[in-house]
Amino acid sequence: MNNTPAEKRALRQQMRRQRRSLSPTQQREAAIGVRNRIRNQLWFLRARHIALYLPNDGEIDPTPLIELCWKMGKAVYLPVLHPIRHNRLWFIHYTPNTRMSPNRFGIPEPSLQKHPRRPAWAMDLVMLPLVAFDADGNRMGMGGGFYDRTFSYKLKGKGIKGARLIGLAHEFQRVGELPVQPWDVPLFGIVTDRANYLRRQSV
């Protein structure tokens, strides 16, 4: 794939359209598939503070995984748009009783004032959505750069130190190859409803 704005835009549109075309039953089956592929992974079992997300625009739904985390006594956090720093995220503690309100994109998120937050570097595990990925663990997001800016500190440690980043996706979102930019923060791996794609060099 060539790294032109038009080609990247076309790929985003294609994948987002394909995600949105899934039926509720297909989405539920995919969500359970991702949960089942993660639940026995050592990096998941060891993690105590885990960030996930609420699905939007056909993204694979991590709700079964969130419910599993609660059942196992793990602390769950959701990304919240930083009120001051441009295109960066805070992570707010999330429970079944958390009061939510929509952000500027219409996505529900916890209130910044009423819930404890945790800095990005202090998370054990962050599972994030994506639009497309390749088998080498490269990710294409929505283009806002929220996660790349939030975890840019990892570039100095070659992606090893700090929170472990895992992308979640439908298997059909895998493409042959994605271009890598200097500001792209590497993922530990990607988990889909059908397979795990983990970087061997990550620890």
Q: Which residues are annotated as a binding site for substrate?
A: 54, 59
Listed in sequence order, the residues at least 6 apart from 20 whose beta carbon sits closer than 8 Å to its beta carbon are: 57, 58
Report the distance separating Cα 173 and Cα 155, nearest Å.
Answer: 25
DSSP for 82-96 reads -SSSTT-EEEEEE-T
Annotated binding site for ATP: 8-12, 139-147
Which candidate, 102, 118, 44, places its Cα nearest to that of 74? 44
Max CA separation in the chain (angstroms): 46
Annotated binding site: 8-12, 54, 59, 139-147
Report the distance separating Cα 28 and Cα 197, nearest Å.
Answer: 21
Q: Which residues pair with 169 in a beta bridge?
A: 192
